[in-house]
Structure 1
Amino acid sequence: MADGDEGRKPRGLALFSGLHLTLAARLKAYLFTGILVTAPISITLYLAWLVVDGVDRLVDNLLPAAFRPDQLLPFTLPGLGLVLLLIFLILVGMVSAGMVGSLLLRLGEALVGRMPVLRGIHTAVKQVFETVLAQKSDAFREVVLVEFPRKDAWSIGFVSGTTRGEVAQLLDGADDMINVFVPTTPNPTSGYLIFVPRSAVKPLRMSVEDGLKLVVSGGLVAPGEGGSIP
């Protein structure tokens, strides 16, 4: 064998190595694709199961032992506690819509309003739920770009309404001040509340859901040209 052929691999062995590397690369790509496909679905189903199981446990602990679903039925039915909770909330809404229910509701709110600590908590929580759940409200229904935290640095923000109260009085003279919530990444439940003029923000066509996806993903999942994330 010549000296130049000593470091050269046989043709069959080189071909086998090439096929081996190609197969490994494909398996690796398939593995990552499988993770990307199954991970979001699995995590979503797991979180949904945690919610359902937690509500079932809560309802089971609140009900008397003789009326618990696992005592009345010969088998366990997941989600039954959630169904019972929804029925209970619907019944509370029906009763509250009547005259007697409205009277009891006003009496309860008046009683809570006399308690120093609970009064502030009840008022704040009630305002938040009324603002978010009211169909006529514009809270968190508009995504904007706002110059934050410094000039020439833009952040995703959600308009939560028009500036009112003492803040609006102090900023009297400014043109159309609005409240903008700037969430943090990747946890959008925390953030900053800033008050800026309407002219200082740039409205985006994307929905609030798409804006949250953009924030949570750290910019990896972005909406398309039509303003919607596929």
Structure 2
Amino acid sequence: MTNGSLERISLATRIRNNFLTGLIICAPIAITIWLTWSFIDWADSWVKPYIPSRYNPESYLQFAIPGFGLLIAVTTITLIGFLGKNLIGRSIVAYSESILHRMPLVRTVYKSTKQIFETVLKEQSGSFKRVGLIEFPSPGTWALVFVSSDARGEIAAKLNEDGEEMVAVFLAPTPVPTAGFLMFVPRSKLKLLDMSPEEGVKLLISAGLVTPEYKAAATEEAATIINPPEGT
């Protein structure tokens, strides 16, 4: 192979490597901007039609204001939350709920939706704050799960008959962890991990390519540096 051929191969390799490096830099930025812009546009499309034209600044301007609908939605939700904490607000909410509870189909949807949001968004809730491993689908094969809560109610009464506490876990698929299986496993069969739920989601979405740093290993390394073994 001549020197000219080697130089052409080397040049092509450098161009490919530079392109891949640029792609790694630009792709996450572009995807983040696109997702953010899509969410803002989606929120605006839902909220703006309900804003009276006299209160909408776009009625007086010659251009659209991205994010105005989202700002109005966030402000309105925050204001409702503030009003819902006082006596009058709680009375209005209780009266509205009493009306919804009288509607056969609506009350089921409302109760289920409210329970989900209270469980997920409640500050004191421990839902999905831990990540663990269970043997699934066969012994020796481990799957990543998100710990929901301890088994309660009838499920706890039926499954805890042998004295083994059961834990509710959510097994999400890869690479889109938006649907999955709710499973009840013995606490002794659950291996809790130190990684956060956010790191667990990254691990799932990347199909294992993005592995979070093991903090315990770093702690052990730091302890070794501080207290080196004898003879070093």
* 1:69 corresponding residue in structure 2: 57
User: RMSD between aligned alpha carbons?
Assistant: 1.6
Q: How far is the alpha carbon of 1:53 from its aligned partner?
A: 1.2
Q: Is 1:166 equivalent to 2:154 in the alignment? A: yes
Deviation string for 1:101-159 (max 9, x for gaps)?
11110011111111121111111111111111111111000000111122111000000
State TM-score, norm by structure 2. Answer: 0.88
- 1:60–1:69 Cα contact (<8 Å) kept: no
State TM-score, norm by structure 1. Answer: 0.89
* 2:222 corresponding residue in structure 1: none
* 1:147 corresponding residue in structure 2: 135
Unpaired runs of 5+ residues, structure 1, are 1-8
Matches within 5 A, 1:1-230: 14-173=2-161, 174-226=163-215
Q: How far is the alpha carbon of 1:212 from its aligned partner?
A: 0.4
- 1:167 alignment partner AA: I
Residue correspondences, number: 216
- 2:160–2:166 Cα contact (<8 Å) kept: no
Q: How far is the alpha carbon of 1:227 from its aligned partner?
A: 6.5
- 1:172 alignment partner AA: N
Equivalent-residue separation in structure 2 for 1:227 and 1:26 (angstroms)? 38
Identical-residue share of aligned pairs (%): 38
- 1:186–1:217 Cα contact (<8 Å) kept: yes
* 1:5 corresponding residue in structure 2: none
Equivalent-residue separation in structure 1 for 2:80 and 2:60 (angstroms)? 24
Q: How far is the alpha carbon of 1:20 from its aligned partner?
A: 0.7
SS in 2 for 1:54: helix
- 2:159 alignment partner AA: L
Unpaired runs of 5+ residues, structure 2, are 218-232
- 2:166 alignment partner AA: M
